[in-house]
Amino acid sequence: MQLPDPRADAGLAPADILPEADDAPEPGGAEPQLLHGEVPADAAGERLDKVLARVFAQFSRSRLRAWCEGGLVSMSGSVAAPRTKARAGARLQLQVPVDPEASSFAAEPVPLQVVWSDADLAVIDKPAGLVVHPAAGNWSGTLLNGLLARFPDAAALPRAGIVHRLDKDTSGLLVVARSLEAQTELVRQLQARSISRQYLALAWGELAAPLWVDAPIARHPRDRLRMAVVPGGKPARTQLRSLGCCRGDFGVVSALRCVLESGRTHQIRVHAQHAGLPLLGDALYGRRGAPRLSLQRQALHAALLRLRHPRSGQWMQWVSPVAQDIAAQWRELGGDPALLDCSAWGPLADEAGAAGSAAR
């Protein structure tokens, strides 16, 4: 659901987000393209890669620089390097290479809950159990396959427009692009940390005050299936806020509102464990010796998504009600269902800055 935000004009920043490098789409499509342009008169003498980003704005400057270094850009008929000085009025030619992935996946009738769609983007409410992108062991039946069936034009986009991911067993909202221009802009917003993603989680333990977990994440040094807090890993920050807790025979369980300042693989799950608040049902990072529960996956739901529309620049926000299996587990433990109501969620006043204490 789109919610108007009267504070948007005041310049309030949403949560900071940084996507994993592996999650950034690789430009290119199923068919090679040959694009032409001209150096603007006021760009004479500038570096060619800077001019390319202006002329071919649908691509990122880093990607254009890589293509330039690969000999795919010519100026006035001659292959040109990124540092070449542009000449006013010179003709530019860009060869956009084929993305091998773009032609390797098939459209499949995977059911998708589309909560918003226009010519530029779509917002999907992903169920738990659905893999976002094909990979070893899951080459079909993924969200990407479903996108190709629902939006046939997505075949021309890198990764069918996917710009970020959710783990297979995490439910909730994610945005996909429906044009190359929108995809480039959404990736830029992710890299600029201006897309807000907030999650609802159930965790073992109690959180007395808001907590910023500031701890670098990298591949676990011994278990390659897991991520871990590792010195020298990629910077990662997560804000954890308690929505309330319940006490029972199994111990204390807290409902948490989790805000990402970065977007590392398994970040919330790793940081929650690091803070002594492992998520219920988490097979990789959960509490050792935890009792058997009805919930068959990690209790993590992407509840809020907030971003600037890539074309209009208008702030847009969507909220997804907590998944039924998480809500049922919370009730089974004796939790108050009202605490899981995220319909009134919005940007937090301190999303972009440290709040409370920090765990390192």
Catalytic residue list contains 223: no
Nearest CA to 187 out of 25, 13, 28 is that of: 25
Alpha-carbon 304 to chain mean position: 12
Instruction: Please give the sequence-ordered ranges of beta strands (E in DSSP) within the chain, or none if there are none.
Output: 33-38, 73-75, 78-79, 91-96, 114-117, 121-126, 171-177, 196-204, 211-214, 217-219, 227-229, 237-248, 251-260, 300-308, 315-319, 357-359
How many CB atoms lie under 10 A from the CB of residue 349? 9
Helical H runs in 9-103?
A: 48-55, 61-69
Give the separation between CA 62 and CA 161, rounded to whole angstroms: 18
Cross-strand partners of 196: 306
Strands 300-308, 171-177: pairing kind: parallel
For residue 52, give the amino acid letter.
L
Bridge partners (DSSP) listed for residue 38? 91
Measured distance CA(261)–CA(238) in Å, rounded: 6
Annotated catalytic residue within 120, 167, 282, 325 = 167
Closest C-alpha to 46, from 58, 55, 59: 55
Rounded Cα–Cα distance for residues 25 and 68 (Å) = 18
Largest Cα span, the chain: 76
- Positions annotated as catalytic residues are 167
